[in-house]
Amino acid sequence: MHMLDENTQTTVKFCDLPDDLQQLISDILEDNGLDTASLSAHQFRLSMVPEMAFPEVELPDERDGRGKPYADKMVGANLPPAVVCGYKWLDGQHRLHAWRMQGNQRIPCIDLKELGMKPAMVTTPFLGDINIL
pLDDT digits (tens, 9 = 90+) for 68-123: 888 888 899 999 999 999 999 999 999 999 999 999 999 999 999 999 999 888 87
Q: Give CA–CA dist 59/67, Å, rounded.
A: 5
* Section 26-51 average pLDDT: 92
On whether residue 83 sits in a domain, the answer given is: yes
On whether residue 73 sits in a domain, the answer given is: yes
On whether residue 81 sits in a domain, the answer given is: yes
On whether residue 1 sits in a domain, the answer given is: no
On whether residue 5 sits in a domain, the answer given is: no
pLDDT value of position 2 = 38
Q: What is the domain range of residue 74?
A: 11-129
Name the nearest CA neighbour of 42 among 3, 16, 6, 9: 16
Count of CB atoms situated within 10 Å of the CB of 34? 15
Q: Is this model's pTM higher than 0.75 or not? A: yes
Res 52 pLDDT > 60:
yes
On whether residue 3 sits in a domain, the answer given is: no
Res 46 pLDDT > 90:
yes
Report the number of distinct structural domains present in the chain. 1
Res 6 pLDDT > 60:
no
Task: Write a three-state SS string for the chain.
Answer: CCCCCCCCCCEEEHHHCCHHHHHHHHHHHHHCCCCCCCHHHCEEECEEEEHHHCCCCCCCCHHHCCCHHHHHCCCCCCCCCEEEECCEEEECHHHHHHHHHHCCCEEEEEEHHHHCCCHHHCCCCCCEECCCC
Res 10 pLDDT > 70:
yes
On whether residue 52 sits in a domain, the answer given is: yes
